[in-house]
Chains A and B, each alone.
Chain A
Amino acid sequence: MRLKGLDLNLLVVLDALLTERSVSRAALRIGLKQSAVSSALGRLREHFDDALLEWRNRQMTPTTLGYELQSTLRTLLQRADVIANANHAFVPADAQQEFVVLCSDYVAQVFMPRVIAWLMQDAPRVSLSIRPLISLLPRSRNLMGDELERRGAHLAIAPKEFISADRPSVDLFHETFTCIVATEHARVGQTLSTKQYSMLPHVIATFMDSAANTVEGRRLERAGVARKVDVIVPNFLLVPEFVIGTERIGTVPSRLALAWAQTMPLRVVPAPFAAIDVRETLQISAAHAGDPAVEWLARTIVHCASDF
């Protein structure tokens, strides 16, 4: 049975080729011989009347059509997974699939180790791929929108204001912000005044170019608090590296600050502004709604958050 003359299983090979950009790696990925992958690529090229991947700068690079096909193809194959899994109970101990979860570096440090430990015990043969939220953020509204599907992710964990209302979601836990300074900081004592906060240099974590593109940045801007920004880093986990041994202040989630203060020469001082509360929320990809495997993972994550 073929659709428009194309063996649909070739699409699995195409997905592997577009992801790996190498015949030998694609072969390893899907467990075929290199020669089989090469001949599949030949048939795909003939079908699409396009090279799909070509040599550029000694690297195999998708053609324009290759790029266009990539995300549609991924969504299509995800739906195929759902169909294939339908009516099959998910058995964690036997499952071998890969789950893709989008989350911030903050969630990756403070929360995901619980999920990983759980998976190691209950589903030792599954793989987990943790990817950044970052590319969600340039778009201002409906951030989670198609990102989950476009990037082939099953779930995302993100602050509530970044998730979309038209997909299923569950509240996980909440977080506040606090400040960190170097242990030996000469100008900051037990507390931090608003004046000190605006006079001293800052290192800020921002997902994109502007300080306003952070949860705490947006709120500070609304409250009219200005900061003198010295260093901009792309995530929270880099902040302490630029605070230790300097005059700089970092404004970070409290759980991170408390964990760092145990092992790094840092002090935690309360932020000089009203508490910022962030609610981390689990969102499920529309492409995977009803997939028993993804539902199992979502339940596991909610369970890990219950005593967090």
Chain B
Amino acid sequence: MRYRSIDLNLLVVLDALLDDPSVTRVADRLNVGQPAISAMLARLREHFGDPLLVQQGRTLTLTPVAIELKPIVHEWLERARVLTATKPGFDPARAERRFSIACSEIVAGFVLPLMSARLAKMAPGIGLNIRTFSAFRSARSPAVEVLERQGVDFVVLPSLFTSAEHPRRPLLTAPYRCLVWRGNEAIRGTLDEATFYALPHIVPTLLDGSVTTIESDDALIHRAQRERVVRTEHLLAIPFAIPRTPLIATLPAFVAERFAARQPDLQVVDCPIPLPPLAEVVQWQQTRENDPAYVWFKDTLLDCALEATPAA
């Protein structure tokens, strides 16, 4: 098989000869006998109608035609090398597609920006379509709803809401801490249990207000999260409601700390009540389990989640 009468394998030899014009050394380098290299040089000379390498004293030098060919051949071989090294499957650098992901604002606001920065660097052709769950209150679980009915690629949910019918992996875990106004006089440096229950709370919700992210059947916590409270689906608006009020927001530590870093009138204190940490799980389409694009996206996402929660 030849291309336009030239054996493309000859270009490997040509590149080597143009780089280092010595039949002996090229033979060594390519691990071929000297007579074979000489024979190939003869065919190259015949093809290009030019001697390419000429004897000058004891060394070979490049002819003008050879000098002209040198960078062109070299570049072509580089491309050939990249092309032939491509493994079957997914190349993020070249992929042109959009992944959709349904998740809470915790993940959308604190993990996915890291993901989009990585995409911009490693996979500029991959777009992100992010959704939340607010619209769903269906008979099925939200995981099943978004994966099966809406065809969303990935879904991230607190572990309690995952579906057994789809592949899953833990994405992140985070302990809870409390975000409060720095001027809150009932809290001086630390928050004790009595004050935690005495003050009003602002509580993030999911699924159109139907659930809170803190999963506890403890009656006191339950009351603190339900009575005399502000419940809001808009997690990212929470820090703007706290200043100049006694409100306490019990949030994943990395989220509370980021909010406080941006708003100096807020402070983070330890939560006086032992709470199970938030555990978010990623799920994806069963049928795509072995799709290399999915595997790459999921692995990158897991990496970003680790980066977002250094304390955990």
Check B109 for interface membership: any CB of A closer than 8 A: yes
Check B80 for interface membership: any CB of A closer than 8 A: no
- Given contacts A64-B139, A134-B135, A241-B109, A129 and B205 within 8 Å (CB-CB): yes
Q: For the complex, what is the distance from the CA of A263 to the CA of B262, rounded to whole Å?
A: 6
**Contact call A242/B223, Cβ cutoff below 8 A:** no
Residues of B within 8 A of A244 (CB): 113
**Contact call A246/B245, Cβ cutoff below 8 A:** no
**Contact call A235/B120, Cβ cutoff below 8 A:** no
Q: When A and B form their complex, what is the total count of cross-chain residue pairs whose Cβ atoms lie within 8 Å?
A: 148
**Contact call A235/B132, Cβ cutoff below 8 A:** yes
What residue in chain B is nearest A70 (Cβ atoms)?
Answer: B137
Residues of A within 8 A of B141 (CB): 57, 59
**Contact call A112/B233, Cβ cutoff below 8 A:** no
Q: Smallest distance from the beta carbon of A213 to chain B beta carbons, Å?
A: 12
**Contact call B209/A238, Cβ cutoff below 8 A:** no
From A21-29, A40-48, A186-194, A279-287, give the one contacting chain B.
A21-29
From B60-68, B71-79, B224-232, B285-293, give the one contacting chain A.
B224-232
**Contact call B234/A235, Cβ cutoff below 8 A:** yes
**Contact call B130/A232, Cβ cutoff below 8 A:** yes
Q: How large is the interface on B (under 10, 10 to 19, 20 to 34, 35 or more residues)?
A: 35 or more
Check B128 for interface membership: any CB of A closer than 8 A: yes
- A25-61: which have CB < 8 Å to B? 25, 28-29, 57, 59, 61
Q: Smallest distance from the beta carbon of A111 to chain B beta carbons, Å?
A: 10
Interface of B is mostly: mixed
- Given contacts A117-B245, A246-B120, A130 and B233 within 8 Å (CB-CB): yes
**Contact call A120/B134, Cβ cutoff below 8 A:** no
Q: For the complex, what is the distance from the CA of A158 to the CA of B128, rounded to whole Å?
A: 27
Q: Which residues of A contact B (CB under 8 A)?
A: 19, 22, 24-25, 28-29, 57, 59, 61-62, 64, 67, 96, 100, 105, 108-110, 112-113, 116-117, 119-120, 124-132, 134-135, 138, 151, 209, 229-235, 237-238, 241-242, 244-247, 259, 263-264
Q: Which residues of B contact A (CB under 8 A)?
A: 105, 108-110, 112-113, 116-117, 120, 127-132, 134-135, 139, 141, 160, 163-164, 200, 202, 205, 208-210, 217, 219, 222-223, 226-234, 236-237, 240-241, 243-247, 262-263
